[in-house]
Structure 1
Amino acid sequence: MENYPAVAFLVKYGKWIALLTGLAPVAAVLVAMVYCTSAHWGWLVAAVVLGAFAWLLMKAFVELIQIIVDMLLPQ
């Protein structure tokens, strides 16, 4: 797998990348709510929904990469 460093990186750190991808919208809205007085709580709800969807998509992508690595790349 030394020929595919990006694939190796995703296999090794994929779960953490998926988690950070899901938490990023929530963190961004929380920062905006702290520093902006006009931020509405509805943005936080939307960020949680978007974060859950982003986490699900990234987790599925990482699992798909792991399946491809297990089946196609020699060990």
Structure 2
Amino acid sequence: MQRHAHDSLPPGTPPPTAPPPVAERVGPAAGDHRTVTVENGAFCAARCSCGWLGPARRARAKARADAAAHAPY
């Protein structure tokens, strides 16, 4: 049986929910590739509809550059 972080909460306490990530569109789709940047705390990463995930970056501009390099227009 898998253990989860919320298994140690008192009975009747709902499991914690994280807010949905903030996504920002990065240009038009290039072929079948639709890229977005997703923020998680202080980090930002590029994601693609094909399943590719770029490295976490502190600078949004670098995450956008990763997305542009993955799916050039």
Bigger strand fraction: 2
Which bin holds the TM-score, normalised by the shorter protein? Answer: under 0.3
Bigger helix fraction: 1
Answer 1 or 2: higher relative contact order, Cα 8 Å, separation at least 6: 1
The TM-score, its normalising length taken from structure 2, stands at 0.28
